[in-house]
Amino acid sequence: MILEAIITNNVVKIYSGGVKALDGVSLTTEEGSSHALLGPNGAGKTTLIRIITTQIKPTSGSIKVLGFDVISQGSRVRELIGYVPQEMSLWTELSGFENMLIYSKLYGIPSAQRKDIIEELLEFMELRDTANRLVKTYSGGMIRRLEIAIALMRKPRVLILDEPTIGLDPRARSLVWSKLLSFKKEHDMTIFFATHYMDEAERYADKVTLLNRGKVIIEDSPVRLKEIVGGNSITIKLHNSRDRDYIVESLKNSEFKITILDEKSLSFSVNNISRDLPRIIEAIYKLGVIVEGVELGEKTLDDVFIALTGMRVEETPGRLREVLSTRRMIRRGG
Amino acid sequence: MNYTGFISCILTMVEVELRRLRHDPIEIFTRAIQPVLWVIVFGSVMAKVRAFPGVGDYVTFIAPGVIMQSATFIALAYGIMLVFEREAGLLKRLLTVPISRVAIVLGRSLAGGIRASTQYIIVLIAAIIVGAKINLNPLGLFIGWLTIIYVAMGFTGLSILIASTLKTRERFMGIIGAISMPLFFASNALYPVDIMPEFIKIIALGNPLTYTVNILRKILIHGDYDILVDLFALTVFNAISIMAAFKCFSKIIE
Ligand SMILES: Nc1ncnc2c1ncn2[C@@H]1O[C@H](COP(=O)(O)OP(=O)(O)O)[C@@H](O)[C@H]1O
Ligand SMILES: [Mg+2]
């Protein structure tokens, strides 16, 4: 039988200032799976995660974690989850090892086991050599790995991560994820994470819930979500920028769906690439336009998001500010 | 959560503070600068003009008061740390760890109390150098130190309460700036209660600093251990402030 790690039912959250951050969110996370909550800045991801982790109460609705109600059985829930907040959760004036030691005591890990557990996790997270340095000298990736190591100390059944790789470069991101997935596999842990990175949800989640303005737009596996928009995209790069509008104008009554990408490139959305590619090339050739290159691509979750909401996930205003302030926080420390 | 878990959580919160101090011990000295200057400059000048008759040697008289003033200020400022920890994600995480929130508040208060007491010996030495007559009985010195930690715990509780309610650095520092000096002047730290105007006398009698300074004067100057009444007053203050801090603490991450 598949157990549900997290079930939320019609969760509404209205902050005291009157902001409706969640507007009836219902979702389900199967035990042992990896579930992404994907949405632009301000979608309500952090709010939902803070409710699930018993930090704040919903205005209405119910939430269960492994069968326990987060409102009435909060302390049971806290026993079972590991959590890494979006911002930084370490004492920066202490060393990495000291941070782990302090949390191991707070978690009530018996003193005989503490050292072994800490050493093992530091090794696993590739932090052994830097364990005695103060956290304020750590890079963003090291900070995240240490925070995750702390969350894993008690082998939580459900690990909840809020934007685990925000502000990290691609290499640091993939290291964080390879560690997460290998731990998940070994301990059969459930991962529930919020992200605004499309590719992160696509690559690392079994199921993706698209959240926008406090509402679930759709919930399914990344593969199935991409089937909704279907097919491939063909990007045509042009030699002359003035040809762009000429093509759009000339082909506006054709069967192709065209999106303008930038000055000199257009994207064609197609369902059957082997049939449509020659036809597109032929049509453009007939217009006498010089083509510099053609790129074939798969649809991304971004296309799903555009199709369903008319906006892109990553281009929401305010994003930059938040990344900067998170980075500043990581540097300045707590 | 069981009893040992509760105690261990309190001690772990103190451990964080001590480890922090160990990494940055200079802080203990920088914190002692201000009270040392009070004793040396203000104390010796005022001793010369004999502004307050009946207090005996003035430097001796104000040494305990100045120690308490600086301890109180450090304790009251402790909440800024929680404001920082709130802005980072530390508090969010701490509140999702399965530990008692009462233990967190008690532990942080005790940690603040200990932090506030670290300049005690340095200021005493400075006072003795400029002529204060301090009773150097080790037991007395130790009880004096415990007293400082105890009342600073209460002031840290007050600070946690303010931090949990106001939440931003600016508002927090504003309030702390507004209350710490009046607290000092409306107490018996710099002059005896008898010479105050009636309405300030009333404030001074409701001011926990007055009772703490009383205890320190009795122990450190007169070797007098008749301190139960003062201790009782401090206990009432501590109970109220720490309980109120606990009530508001969960609100800090909202
Ligand atoms: N503590 C708060 N008080 C009031 N409004 C808030 C608070 N936290 C978040 N919000 C608002 O709720 C909405 C959702 O925010 P959040 O859950 O942080 O989104 P996300 O994590 O998806 O970026 C935003 O409009 C945000 O401004
Ligand atoms: Mg967020």
What residue spans define the domains of chain B? 3-252
Label residue A71 exposed, middle or buried (CB < 10 Å: 0-12, 13-18, 19+).
middle
Which SS3 state, helix, strand or coil, does residue A45 take? helix
A274: containing domain: 231-297
Say yes or no: A184 and A163 in one domain: yes
Which residues from chain A sit within 8 angstroms of residue B249, using beta carbons? none
Nearest CA in chain A to B9: A106
Residue B94 token pair: 């701490």
A161 and B CB contact within 8 Å: no
One-letter amino acid of A321: R
On the question of pLDDT at A319 being above 50, the answer is no
User: Quick one: how far is CA B50 from the chain centroid?
Assistant: 28
- Overall number of domains in chain A: 2
Residue A321 domain-assigned (yes or no): no
Rg (CA), chain B: 18
Strand-pairing partners, residue A20, are A14
Say yes or no: A44 and A176 in one domain: yes
Residue A329 banded pLDDT, cuts 50, 70, 90: low
Say yes or no: A96 and A237 in one domain: no
Say yes or no: A128 and A241 in one domain: no
- Tell me the CATH number at A289: 3.30.70.120
Q: What is the C-alpha to C-alpha distance for residues A151 and A179, in angstroms, rounded to an integer?
A: 13
A57 and B CB contact within 8 Å: no
Which SS3 state, helix, strand or coil, does residue A71 take? coil
Nearest to A86 among B12, B89, B99 (CB): B89
Beta strands A190-195 and A158-162, pairing class: parallel
Q: What is the C-alpha to C-alpha distance for residues A195 and A38, in angstroms, rounded to an integer?
A: 5
Say yes or no: A149 and A37 in one domain: yes
Asked if the Cβ–Cβ distance from B88 to A54 is below 8 Å, we say no
A15 close to ligand 1 (CB < 6 Angstrom): yes
Is residue A149 a contact partner of residue A121, using CB atoms and an 8 Å limit? yes
List the one residue out of A125, A122, A116, A123 whose CA is nearest residue A179: A125
Tell how far the Cα of A77 is from the centroid of ligand 2, in angstroms: 21
Which atom belonging to ligand 1 lies closest to the Cα atom of B254?
1
Tell how far the Cα of A47 is from the centroid of ligand 2, in angstroms: 7
Is residue B215 a contact partner of residue B140, using CB atoms and an 8 Å limit? no
> What pLDDT is stored for residue A193 in this prediction?
98
Q: Which of A142-146, A326-330, B43-47 has the lowest mean pLDDT?
A: A326-330
Is residue A8 a contact partner of residue A61, using CB atoms and an 8 Å limit? yes
Return the ligand number nearest the Cα of A211: 1
On the question of pLDDT at B235 being above 50, the answer is yes
A17 close to ligand 1 (CB < 6 Angstrom): yes
Say yes or no: A166 and A259 in one domain: no
pLDDT, tens digit, 9 for 90 and up, residues B4-18 = 889 999 999 999 999
Tell how far the Cα of B93 is from the centroid of ligand 2, in angstroms: 15
3-state DSSP: chain B helix, strand, coil percent, rounded to 5? Answer: 80, 0, 20
A46 close to ligand 1 (CB < 6 Angstrom): yes
Residue owning tokens 């600016």: B170
One-letter amino acid of A104: S
Dihedrals phi, psi of A60, to nearest 5 degrees: -155, 170
Beta strands A291-298 and A232-238, pairing class: antiparallel
pLDDT, tens digit, 9 for 90 and up, residues B96-127 = 998 988 999 999 999 999 999 998 999 999 99
Say yes or no: A277 and A178 in one domain: no
Going by CA atoms, what residue is nearest to atom 17 of ligand 1? A44
ipTM: 0.90
Domain end point (choices A219, A243, A278)? A219
Residue A315 domain-assigned (yes or no): no
